[in-house]
Amino acid sequence: MGRDGGDGLKALHEAATTIAQDEASSVVWGIPGHAVFLEAADEIVSLNSMAEYIVSALTACKRLRLDSACCVGRAPGYG
């Protein structure tokens, strides 16, 4: 279960930084679990932390004037 989503994230991972939901906050671990298995996620975060993570990453990119795809995963306080 989740193979197609995990495979899709792996393909996206070739072009951008990717994140996946952690097992503890997942109702179903299928897609994120397969993505983690494939090492397709640069960061693994809880559902409650995901929005904050994305905003922090994009804010850092804007401040540094970097392309947001290359910057996500390097947000202050994460990774």
pLDDT tens figures, 5-18? 888 888 888 888 88
Q: Where are the domains of the chain?
A: 3-71
User: Which pLDDT score is estimated for 69?
Assistant: 52
State the DSSP code for 21.
E
Closest CA to 32 of 16, 15, 14, 50: 50
Q: What does pTM read for this prediction?
A: 0.74
